[in-house]
Amino acid sequence: MMPHVVTSARSFDVVVIGAGPAGGYLAGKVAAAGYDVALVEEHREIGEPIQCGGLVTPRVFEYVRCKETIIGAVHGAELFSPSGRRLVIDGHHTQAVVVQRAMFDRAIATDAVRKGAHTFLGAQAQSARREDGRVAVSIDQDGAPRTLRAKILVGCDGVRSNVAKWFNILRPRKILPGFEVEMTGVRGDAGFVKLFIGNEIAPGFFGWIIPSGDTARVGLCVGEGNAYAYLERMLQRPEVKQYTKGAQPILYIAGGIPLGFPRRTYADNVLVVGDAACQAKAVSGGGIFTSLTCSDFASRTVIEALEANDYSARVLHRYHKAWTKSIGKELRKDLAIHESFARLRDDQFEELFDIFDSPEMRLLIEKKGDIDFPSKVGWALIKEDPRLLKYVGKALRAMIVKNVVV
């Protein structure tokens, strides 16, 4: 799959750490512009281990051409309250698709290689430092140390980004621990995701069942604590067992959602993108669309910097300005929404189910719901029923004043 495996070349225009969607996409865009790009991945196989449920909107395919990795389509959601009450939201047409995540990541990386990027697989980045106006990256590839030098280093290395740490870029304010199990034999309508809400189920977030072809991904994130233990308890609840009784696990997946909004996602010679830059949606935990969007901004800035032969923070700041002024606005709102609802009690969640379980509110959600831009339906819901204002926190209330007239 990867014909350009480098054994001797050590100097590149750009070194990208992390071959997930953000890293693979950026490597391909910059390589296609005619620059030498190294794509460094610590695992021997791109896409492994799987890091998320693979639920994305069709918008991601505006960036990447890998629709062959789609294994399911979703048009609605079944939501369960803390007491097990069920609320059905049906968009009646495809709202999201499920991708085979490992294949998805590999397809993006394969495209990057076809465009000229070089891969270092099984290569762990050990350290990085500025050296004579460049960056020297020390890697260990299957026990063999080597140094890669680059004009620009891009960290797409995930929630606990080493690149961010090495160059004093703000780390996540908080990482929500998550655990997921892929199961065979899960029942239920494959056109609906199932969401489970409540402080006994998943305090600070929610649980889910995502249909994925012949299997389903059952998981949760929590504000704090042992996510695996919470998942074990969730699987024993009646509203979950109606779908999972008799199902068998075939794969366990651990991960985390980075929360925060970094003041800086750049430094001299350095950018961070994706989870490394906290570019995940705090409401849903999804990060593929947002990371690809930000990776697109990053690739443009990198190409501009290479053309100008200027890799200073002054130039690379353009990336930070671009993403924070666009998708960053939604991410700020998502964070405020998350912080408001993460503190609610179970009786308050039940009250919200009372509010949402009306024909008018369900219709509004079905018409305007968008998992990439959840604040849009949020503002509309508050205008429809101002009782929702009592559940919001200070940060979200300040945003509402600017966005909604009630």
Query: Could you write out the DSSP letters of every residue in 287-329?
Result: -HHHHHHHHHHHHHHHHHHHHHT--SHHHHHHHHHHHHHTHHH
Q: What's the pLDDT at 379?
A: 81
For residue 14, count other CB atoms closer than 10 A to its CB: 27
Per-residue pLDDT reduced to its tens digit, 179-237: 999 999 999 999 999 999 999 999 999 999 999 888 999 999 999 899 999 999 999 99
Q: What's the pLDDT at 172?
A: 81
Specify if 283 maps to a domain.
yes
Mean pLDDT across the stretch 105-123?
Answer: 96
pLDDT surpasses 90 at 393: no
Number of domains within the chain: 3
Same domain, 167 and 39: yes
Name the pTM for this structure. 0.91
Burial of 211 (0-12, 13-18, 19+ CB in 10 A): buried
Same domain, 227 and 362: no
At 35, which amino acid appears?
A: Y
Same domain, 45 and 143: yes
Same domain, 208 and 70: yes
Q: Where are the beta strands (DSSP E) in 132-268?
A: 134-141, 144-155, 174-184, 192-196, 207-212, 215-221, 248-259, 266-267
Decide: 277 and 174 in contact? Cβ < 8 Å. Answer: no
What is the pLDDT confidence band of residue 293, given thresholds at 50, 70 and 90?
very high
Chain centroid to CA 207:
16
Angle, alpha carbons 215-219-224 (nearest 5°): 170
Specify if 4 maps to a domain.
no
Sole residue written with tokens 């993403």 = 323
Same domain, 167 and 184: no
What interhelical angle do 359-368 and 374-384 show, nearest 10?
Answer: 150
Sole residue written with tokens 């304010």 = 173
pLDDT surpasses 80 at 49: no
Out of 234, 259, 284, pick the residue that ends a domain: 259
Same domain, 19 and 75: no
User: Which residues does 189 contact at the CB level (< 8 Å), separation at least 6?
Assistant: none
Residue 201 has what DSSP assignment? T
Specify if 229 maps to a domain.
yes
Same domain, 235 and 192: yes
Out of 330, 353, 386, pick the residue that ends a domain: 330
Residue 201 CB-half CA count within 13 A: 28
Chain centroid to CA 102:
15
Give the span between the Cα atoms of 75 and 392, in whole angstroms: 28
Same domain, 147 and 285: yes
Pairing of strands 86-90, 76-80: antiparallel
Same domain, 247 and 388: no
Out of 227, 259, 291, pick the residue that ends a domain: 259
Containing structural domain, residue 375: 341-403
